[in-house]
Structure 1
């Protein structure tokens, strides 16, 4: 790990890190300040008094949890296969999965809309869960495969000598060792699922299925555009993500670093 010993080097590094953080911190400060403009905390009272808020939170939680479970299961199985199993042409399949990272979400809207209509999934949770998971999996597989490459093959071979099959070796040896990268996957997937605005806007038309990211739109209309309440709604929407990151910060940073380096 890089360390600085001299006082001048520490000062330069601190100034550099501060300058790098400011572009990301400034919009957050402006958002919080704007949410307190006008009637102050009354903006938050107006947001929290919306009758749709508990339903939107529940819908976002259900979609996020289902997406996390789907991404976690597919990522671990795929990364294990790409890293530890002998499969003909697996590198070709791996690069085909990575090619999906080049496809923007907006370009996929039309084929996804047509597919959800044909499958009868339109205006259901699955119309958002499945695309969200599919968009997250290529990147999480890339990270997890790099992490699993650092697990010695000898552990799996020893398990096979003791009579364990591939599935038992995966369940009892590989999964317990992947907890740091699992935390990174959970946080990244949660952020992507909770913050997604475009897919719920297009595929969830019923108020009973809409998510928390659509809450600010209730304060924007033809004759109303209350930006202070929009910003307050944005702050309320972001709080669960901040809390989740703080709870999993240490594991998230370990897993992300290990998945990128190994």
Structure 2
């Protein structure tokens, strides 16, 4: 019987191992290249989609600002053109024709009071849901969150009848109270998620020192909650400032109308004058852009903080 040479067997095994290793390496390299290509393709596709969505939102806004500085004749003849010269006269004419100074003050009053109500109540409720242990906490929390799925139209008639009975129609409170209630569910949800991410060690130390629950909320929780408070302020201000349906139904007195409903009346009166309407829209929209960009970084922190448990 002829036995194989040990060196030949070793060489054959070594060659087979090298071939197998090379094949596996090539397969892994191809797989990694395929995955890298797939990730790169998905990333580039996401960028393209994001850019298209951004343009869909951005182009009308830029057109509004651009056309607000053109004459009405230029807009009619060339709707998509650029202004041949910058003219701010449309702003002054629209400001005076729509009595926007008074309506700005009314909108500011409604927005500021609603903001205070939402910030105070949402942070208190969120702190209770996050830190306090009481009977029915989960049920009550879900009850608050139901407000996120209820459209305004579902309870607007009931509100109108209730406010008419209470004598609140044609008053600013007939707008402030409903818009504050509408803003509470989302604000409570965001605030609770943020409070859940805060460490409880500081509170425990304060309780050991004899601090009460409200003292802990006021002296420890609130100073640590600047990002979420800024987020709640931003969402509330933008939502209340742009609210149309509730003030349109609740306020029939022209001297008490906020900007949104006064703009509707102004647009009806000057339906053919696009330059004045665009100038009025620009003046109404600009404060909200300023608010958002002023709080942008805090809003990002407030929204993402709840996803990280400390």
Judge conservation of contact 1:216–1:229 (CA < 8 Å) in 2. Answer: no
Aligned to 1:157: 204
Judge conservation of contact 2:197–2:307 (CA < 8 Å) in 1. Answer: no
Aligned to 2:186: 139
Judge conservation of contact 1:184–1:255 (CA < 8 Å) in 2. Answer: yes
What is the TM-score when the length of structure 2 is the normalising length? Answer: 0.76
Judge conservation of contact 1:79–1:141 (CA < 8 Å) in 2. Answer: yes
TM-superposed CA distance for 1:217, in Å, is 2.6
Aligned to 2:54: 21
Judge conservation of contact 2:243–2:260 (CA < 8 Å) in 1. Answer: yes
Q: Deviations over 1:35-57 (max 9, x none)?
A: 34434644323212236211101
TM-superposed CA distance for 1:12, in Å, is 5.8
Aligned to 1:234: 281
Mark the runs of 5 or more structure 2 residues left unpaired by the alignment.
1-36, 73-86
> Which of the residues 127, 130, 133 maps onto 2:174?
127
Judge conservation of contact 1:181–1:251 (CA < 8 Å) in 2. Answer: yes
Structure having the higher Rg: 2
> Which of the residues 216, 219, 223 maps onto 2:266?
219
TM-superposed CA distance for 1:136, in Å, is 0.6
86-95 vs 209-218, which moves further: 209-218
User: Residues of 2 paired with 1:52 and 1:142: CA distance?
Assistant: 38
38-47 vs 166-175, which moves further: 38-47
Aligned to 2:137: 90
130-139 vs 8-17, which moves further: 8-17
> Which of the residues 204, 219, 223 maps onto 1:172?
219
TM-superposed CA distance for 1:225, in Å, is 3.7
The answer to whether residue 63 in structure 2 is matched with residue 30 in structure 1 is: yes
In the TM superposition, what are the counterparts of 1:14-93 in structure 2 within 5 Å?
14-39=47-72, 41-50=88-97, 52-93=99-140
Aligned length: 257
Q: Deviations over 1:234-262 (max 9, x none)?
A: 11101111111222222122112224555
User: Residues of 2 paired with 1:23 and 1:91: CA distance?
Assistant: 41
Aligned to 1:200: 247
User: Residues of 1 paired with 2:223 and 2:263: CA distance?
Assistant: 40
Aligned to 2:236: 189
TM-superposed CA distance for 1:14, in Å, is 4.4
28-37 vs 166-175, which moves further: 28-37
Judge conservation of contact 1:143–1:260 (CA < 8 Å) in 2. Answer: no
226-235 vs 68-77, which moves further: 226-235
200-209 vs 79-88, which moves further: 200-209
Mark the runs of 5 or more structure 1 residues left unpaired by the alignment.
1-5
User: Residues of 2 paired with 1:178 and 1:16: CA distance?
Assistant: 34
158-167 vs 147-156, which moves further: 147-156
Q: What value does the CA root-mean-square deviation take over the aligned residues?
A: 2.3
User: Which structure carries more relative contact order (alpha carbon 8 Å, separation 6+)?
Assistant: 1
